[in-house]
Structure 1
Amino acid sequence: MSRQSLSLRFPLLLLLLPPPPVLPADVREPVPVNPCCYYPCQHQGVCVRFGLDRYQCDCTRTGYSGPNCTIPELWTWLRNLLRPSPSATHFLLTHGRWLWDFVNATFIREMLMRLVLTVRSNLIPSPPTYDSAHDYLNWESFSNMSYYTRILPSVPQDCPTPMGTKGKKQLPDAQLLSRHFLLRREFIPDPQGANLMFAFFAQHFTHQFFKTSGKMGPGFTKALGHGVDLGHIYGDNLERQYQLRLFKDGKLKYQVLDGEVYPPSVEEVPVLMLYPRGIPLKNQMAVGQEVFGLLPGLMLYATLWLREHNRVCDLLKAEHPTWGDEQLFQTARLILIGETIKIVIEEYVQQLSGYFLQLKFDPELLFSVQFQYRNRIAVEFNQLYRWHPLMPDTFKVGSQEYSYEQFLFNTSMLVDYGVEALVDAFSRQSAGRIGGGRNIDHHVLHVAVEVIKESRELRLQPFNEYRKRFGLKPYTSFQEFTGEKEMAAELEELYGDIDALEFYPGLLLEKCHPNSIFGESMIEIGAPFSLKGLLGNPICSPEYWKSSTFGGEMGFNIVKTATLKKLVCLNTKTCPYVAFRVPDPDQDGEPAVERPSTEL
């Protein structure tokens, strides 16, 4: 064989040789762990990764210094020394009624209210910082209103465990977790006395800004107003608003049934409403929020606010006969926004807090301090507010008791009973306790399952990291967290470490304050979101908070004196028992009374 032929065949011969062995990597050399998975930066310091295994904490304006932002500056140290713990503050605010009766009658009330508002609101970053697509500051998080904001960035994707570095490599099954720890065994009423009128108000009110986009994913919202804009009354877009408007005297469309005003039917106003197939269009009511046909309690509030809007339009028309439809509509909307915020702060939040300090809605309290009048709804706030333990086992109206199957999408109940009868019934039936676990009815347990799945898709940081972010001490054990041994042992078996406990289960399973609707974390994390969203509304700003905004002193006074009782009794023929708490025993049999003609 010639040398030339050998040289041509040599590359082919190489292909027949066995491949060289692949040498295994040195198992003794560990794979570098993203250092930010350890959450090393304390006190709102920002973790920035360098290379594979190095990091730096940005402690700018945290009041702390050092490699991990743990060394307090002098003023920070003094402030921490003098500041009472959240549990001590809660105890003071919920005990000593005689002392608070004195405080509420003096200027001290306004001083404390200003302190509450500023301290709580300062915990919420403004402008917004992160979103579900960006774990770092960026222009998209600020400018794209389709995103929910985030208080903490998501867990880095390359961490050893789903919660960072602590806990097991696989989180417990969401269905198993919900059934074992959240499913109701026996109805536990709210010890603070909240009722179904409160529960339905919570759902109705929050559905104007909690509208997760099903197409885009759990990090996105369709409620681009990000606050109290009453999109659940007027619609979340101009097309829907125009379909709901009468375009005469500023009013909304309505229908009259048995001599009473109700929202129009979908047959008359063809907007999208989510009803089951088979329900005739004439029996479906058209309102601003497409899901309100689900519960008669939600449509009850939709009816009340419809009547209130048209009532306010009549009052404005009488005062301003030269105004056109658009100005009457827009001014009435601003008045209703003010009424909503007033009722939420002074009655709804008051009931929720259990405080003896009488809360006050007065935007002028913040005019002398630095405050930003804008808001962005956070994904954590959306998760936190899934309060389905409020729902009872059955719904009682008069002598009748309705199961979920009979109550959901019941299109005739509101008209058959009338607004007054439903208000009275819902005001007298207890809502459930939210915290402490094992109090969600099986009909709505699927909501909790979906929330847990959403939180994992969003990669929310552990419960303890959120406690630290809002100035609370992290729990050191499951027993400290639950206040008992059995559930603590079961949770430890599932999660492996208290620092791996998830956000939503943490909020619902935490031990409750004594005689309280939920635990410390729900109050301390939820209150800042709520108050910043309410007082950050434009109508609370110095530019808006004046009589001319609301059509003069008459409209301004409607806002300043708004109550839940007025909302109901100025829009019904009789005035039933109405409150956010069940009546005291001596009130239980009070009959309905005739309502005044115009104002209470």
Structure 2
Amino acid sequence: MSSPAPPKNGVTVTTAKEDDNNQNGQLLPSFKPGLADRAGIGAFHLINKVIPWYKLPGIFGAFNLAFLRIELRQFNLYDGYASPAAQGTAVSEPLTDPRYIGARNSDGKFNSLELPLMGCAGMRLGRNFPRHLTPKPTEEELMTPNPRMISDRFMARKDGRFIPATTLNLLAAAWIQFQTHDWFNHEQSDEKINIPIPEGGDKWVEEHMKLYRTKPDAALDPSDVKCPGYRNLNTAWWDGSQIYGSSEAVTQTLRTQQPDGKLLLDTHGLVSFLPRDEQGNPLTGFNNNWWIGMELLHTLFALEHNSICDRLKAAHPDMTGDQIFDKARLVNCALMAKIHTVEWTPAILAHPALQIGMNANWWGIVGEKLTKAVGRLSKTSEIISGIPGSGAEQDGTPYSLTEEFVSVYRMHSLMPETIAFFNSVSGTHLSTIPLPSLTFSHAQDPLKCGDVTFADAFYSFGINYPGAITNNNYPSFLRNLHTPDGQIRDLGTVDILRDRERGVPRYCAFRRLLRLSVPTTFEELVGGNNPTLAKELSDAYNGDVNLVDALVGSHSEPMIPGFGFSETAFRIFILMASRRLKSDRFIAGEAWNEKTYTKEGFKWVQDMGMKDVLGRHFPGLKPVLARSGNVFAPWEMLGESKEYGGVETNAPKA
């Protein structure tokens, strides 16, 4: 057996396939917690036998989660490859352009200078569970129980009834799709899956629903045959690829021809819009699954990029267009990461421990004021002074997003059936539009015709509720979705099938691998207080609780107070949410400084939030934003909008 090479960027690189760190074609994580961490993990294990973390006082709950995250780093990070050679080396992938030492490469290369391919476009998604426990299913396993039947019984809104998430607003729903479009995008094969439609009562238009399979990566190791890897067409970094693209070639097409570093926008009078190609598709980094929510956020952060460019140009008139662009992109990406960490997450996980913990992820337990006033009190401790600037670390496994991470972000229930639009100044009701009329090529329609301004749309998103992430709450149009490429899909069926196809464990196995309690009966799964749901699940899954899909189980389990999604999904979230920050050289690593970002850019990231971004580009929103709390929670309602049920039913009262 050969000796391991020295650790690089937090990853132990083995030099022989037969190393003890490779079992079943699986590179095992090399991360081991220190003595103090093991003591903390052990102490909270004992406490949690009596009191779960979410019932502890806020600060103790936050520390409980911090030690849980360390435990998850040890047991729930796995590479998608059987050999570390896949990540490249400085020799095999030399950095020939010094520009990318201090700037992001659009395809994600060179974030790590030691492992230059890590996290770049085209690399495999990793796993939160050992690969040999995530095998490719047989065709019988793929279809058992029938995924369309599961969608009909547990996804469809019963009698069209919309279940609102009353602690959030529709902007929160748009935001998470905006972010996931930055993080992952599977490659599609030319081979189709024919899903048989259950007999009796199903109103699908054909006898089969035809979906393209996910394309597996080439087999680089014998283990890849039984447990295929799947490539991520996006970069895995928090680098704004939904705006800037996941290749340098795409990025160049989105920039102006002027040496100003700006992104292209069409201006109509005083209003800026995303430009369109000849087919009417928006010119932006990622334009699939398009609707007015994406139109709003892509436009907003293209505007924000251009405002950052103006600030940098004023402070540094000698900068070239490329230099301005590079710095503005760094600032814009870091700002989005900060907004997601300290604003969106505490809105959807409204629990005291999460309020403390997510703020500490960015600022540390010493808090924002002290960190901004004197800088980091601890050079390396992410707990004391936050993750940004604490030192990039891969925790024994090359960075990637994971198939299980993709799975827990299946949140189509957030989408309503209609959106009620109101004037952003007076609160006057303008229109209520079915969501299908605001998708794909129609996403700009109310904005372009002038019936609704961008400010009106953002205000309306601020007071409309999204759907709750629970059973029987998928919007009807997403269960009969006609896409521009001619496909007709039920996204409830798609969500179930994609998890199965990609080897995501079923609910009980999923929880077992996260060291959570595992239900032995359907009554236990639903918490013992919903016998009707328990019986429906038992009927659908042939009395075998081990067959319940991860998504259905997560929708069925009791919710922690204040949470917008299940504790099962949350376990993946607390591991991967911090990993996206901690692995990134431009956020956690040596590039987090004024030299890389510029003094003006670094201050922009530290000082700004979502309210600042909205108020900068749509000043008329400032008064209502000032009187509202978290920007992803319901805003103050103005005038006539108070009299409408639009914030609860997404339609005006009769």
Structure 1 CA distance for aligned equivalents of residues 538 and 270 of structure 2: 59
Corresponding residue for residue 168 of structure 2: 194
Among residues 525, 531, 534, which one is paired with 2:578 in the alignment?
531
Q: 1:224 Cα deviation (Å)?
A: 4.5
Corresponding residue for residue 412 of structure 1: 445
Corresponding residue for residue 227 of structure 1: 237
Structure 2 CA distance for aligned equivalents of residues 296 and 188 of structure 1: 21
Corresponding residue for residue 256 of structure 2: 246
Structure 2 CA distance for aligned equivalents of residues 158 and 341 of structure 1: 33
Report which of the two structures shows the higher radius of gyration computed on alpha carbons: 1
Task: Confirm whether residue 209 of structure 1 aligns to residue 183 of structure 2.
Answer: yes
> Any gaps of 5 or more consecutive residues in structure 1?
1-44, 50-57, 64-73, 94-99, 164-168, 268-280, 591-600
Structure 2 CA distance for aligned equivalents of residues 404 and 319 of structure 1: 43
Mapped contact 2:274–2:282 kept (Cα < 8 A): yes
| Structure 2 counterparts to residues 571-582 of structure 1, below 5 A | 571-575=617-621, 577=624, 579-582=631-634
Structure 2 CA distance for aligned equivalents of residues 514 and 60 of structure 1: 35
Structure 2 CA distance for aligned equivalents of residues 384 and 532 of structure 1: 16
Mapped contact 1:183–1:440 kept (Cα < 8 A): yes
Per mean C-alpha deviation after superposition, the further-off stretch among 140-149 and 253-262 is 140-149
Query: Secondary structure at 1:444's aligned position in 2?
Result: helix
Check 1:256–1:174 CA distance in 2 against 1; reply closer, same or farther (3 A cut).
Answer: same
Check 1:121–1:156 CA distance in 2 against 1; reply closer, same or farther (3 A cut).
Answer: closer
Task: Confirm whether residue 506 of structure 1 aligns to residue 539 of structure 2.
Answer: no
Mapped contact 1:129–1:141 kept (Cα < 8 A): no
Corresponding residue for residue 10 of structure 1: none
Check 1:366–1:172 CA distance in 2 against 1; reply closer, same or farther (3 A cut).
Answer: farther
Check 1:326–1:61 CA distance in 2 against 1; reply closer, same or farther (3 A cut).
Answer: closer
Query: Secondary structure at 2:476's aligned position in 1?
Result: coil
Query: Secondary structure at 2:182's aligned position in 1?
Result: coil
Mapped contact 1:511–1:518 kept (Cα < 8 A): no
Per mean C-alpha deviation after superposition, the further-off stretch among 319-328 and 500-509 is 500-509
- Structure 1 residue identity aligned to 2:402: A
- Structure 1 residue identity aligned to 2:612: K
Structure 1 CA distance for aligned equivalents of residues 252 and 50 of structure 2: 47
Q: 1:162 Cα deviation (Å)?
A: 7.1
Mapped contact 1:539–1:545 kept (Cα < 8 A): yes
Corresponding residue for residue 393 of structure 2: 372
| Structure 2 counterparts to residues 133-148 of structure 1, below 5 A | 137-139=82-84, 145-148=122-125
- Structure 2 residue identity aligned to 1:322: D
Check 1:78–1:392 CA distance in 2 against 1; reply closer, same or farther (3 A cut).
Answer: closer
Check 1:311–1:92 CA distance in 2 against 1; reply closer, same or farther (3 A cut).
Answer: same
Q: 1:225 Cα deviation (Å)?
A: 2.2
Task: Confirm whether residue 286 of structure 1 aligns to residue 333 of structure 2.
Answer: no
Corresponding residue for residue 493 of structure 1: 539
Check 1:291–1:87 CA distance in 2 against 1; reply closer, same or farther (3 A cut).
Answer: farther
Structure 2 CA distance for aligned equivalents of residues 569 and 91 of structure 1: 37
Q: Deviations over 1:436-493 (max 9, x none)?
A: x111112113122112112222232222222133231112221111132122123223
Check 1:85–1:255 CA distance in 2 against 1; reply closer, same or farther (3 A cut).
Answer: farther
Task: Confirm whether residue 92 of structure 1 aligns to residue 103 of structure 2.
Answer: no
Mapped contact 1:512–1:519 kept (Cα < 8 A): yes
Structure 2 CA distance for aligned equivalents of residues 309 and 160 of structure 1: 47
Structure 1 CA distance for aligned equivalents of residues 260 and 143 of structure 2: 60
Among residues 291, 297, 305, which one is paired with 1:301 in the alignment?
297
Query: Secondary structure at 1:285's aligned position in 2?
Result: coil
Corresponding residue for residue 40 of structure 1: none
Check 1:371–1:428 CA distance in 2 against 1; reply closer, same or farther (3 A cut).
Answer: same
Corresponding residue for residue 111 of structure 2: none
Q: 1:118 Cα deviation (Å)?
A: 6.1
Q: 1:265 Cα deviation (Å)?
A: 2.7
Q: Deviations over 1:115-134 (max 9, x none)?
A: 74564265246996343xx7
Q: 1:262 Cα deviation (Å)?
A: 2.0
Task: Confirm whether residue 562 of structure 1 aligns to residue 597 of structure 2.
Answer: no
Structure 1 CA distance for aligned equivalents of residues 558 and 311 of structure 2: 49
Q: 1:92 Cα deviation (Å)?
A: 3.3
Q: Deviations over 1:321-366 (max 9, x none)?
A: 1111111100111101110111001100111111223432137578
Structure 2 CA distance for aligned equivalents of residues 570 and 148 of structure 1: 37
Structure 1 CA distance for aligned equivalents of residues 526 and 570 of structure 2: 16
Q: Deviations over 1:84-128 (max 9, x none)?
A: 2697222336xxxxxx6xx7xxxx9xxx86774564265246996
Corresponding residue for residue 457 of structure 1: 501
Mapped contact 2:41–2:68 kept (Cα < 8 A): no
Mapped contact 1:384–1:504 kept (Cα < 8 A): yes
- Structure 2 residue identity aligned to 1:312: I
| Structure 2 counterparts to residues 54-453 of structure 1, below 5 A | 78-79=42-43, 81-84=45-48, 88-92=52-56, 116=65, 119-120=68-69, 123-124=72-73, 129-131=78-80, 137-139=82-84, 145-152=122-129, 153-155=131-133, 171-185=144-158, 186-191=161-166, 193-215=167-189, 217=215, 219-247=229-257, 248-267=259-278, 281=279, 284-291=281-288, 294-356=290-352, 357-358=355-356, 359-360=358-359, 361-362=362-363, 367-368=380-381, 372=393, 375-398=399-422, 399=429, 400-409=431-440, 410=442, 411-415=444-448, 416=450, 417-435=452-470, 437-445=471-479, 446-453=490-497
- Structure 1 residue identity aligned to 2:466: A
Count the aligned residue pairs: 488
Mapped contact 1:343–1:564 kept (Cα < 8 A): yes
Q: 1:158 Cα deviation (Å)?
A: 10
CA RMSD between the two structures: 3.6
Check 1:589–1:325 CA distance in 2 against 1; reply closer, same or farther (3 A cut).
Answer: same
Mapped contact 2:170–2:462 kept (Cα < 8 A): yes
Structure 1 CA distance for aligned equivalents of residues 502 and 185 of structure 2: 16
> Any gaps of 5 or more consecutive residues in structure 2?
1-19, 89-116, 190-213, 217-228, 365-375, 383-390, 423-428, 480-489, 626-630, 643-654
Among residues 596, 601, 606, which one is paired with 1:549 in the alignment?
596
Per mean C-alpha deviation after superposition, the further-off stretch among 537-546 and 232-241 is 537-546
Mapped contact 1:296–1:407 kept (Cα < 8 A): yes
Query: Secondary structure at 1:570's aligned position in 2?
Result: helix
Check 1:340–1:477 CA distance in 2 against 1; reply closer, same or farther (3 A cut).
Answer: same
- Structure 2 residue identity aligned to 1:291: N
Q: 1:179 Cα deviation (Å)?
A: 0.8
Q: Could you state the TM-score of these two structures normalised by the residue count of structure 2?
A: 0.67
Structure 2 CA distance for aligned equivalents of residues 404 and 473 of structure 1: 39
Structure 2 CA distance for aligned equivalents of residues 75 and 306 of structure 1: 47
- Structure 1 residue identity aligned to 2:242: H
Q: Deviations over 1:167-199 (max 9, x none)?
A: xx97211001011012112111114x1111110
Identity %: 21
Q: 1:226 Cα deviation (Å)?
A: 0.7
- Structure 2 residue identity aligned to 1:362: W
- Structure 2 residue identity aligned to 1:534: L
Q: Could you state the TM-score of these two structures normalised by the residue count of structure 1?
A: 0.73
Structure 2 CA distance for aligned equivalents of residues 529 and 59 of structure 1: 15
Corresponding residue for residue 521 of structure 2: 477
Structure 2 CA distance for aligned equivalents of residues 318 and 47 of structure 1: 54
Query: Secondary structure at 2:586's aligned position in 1?
Result: helix
Query: Secondary structure at 2:595's aligned position in 1?
Result: helix
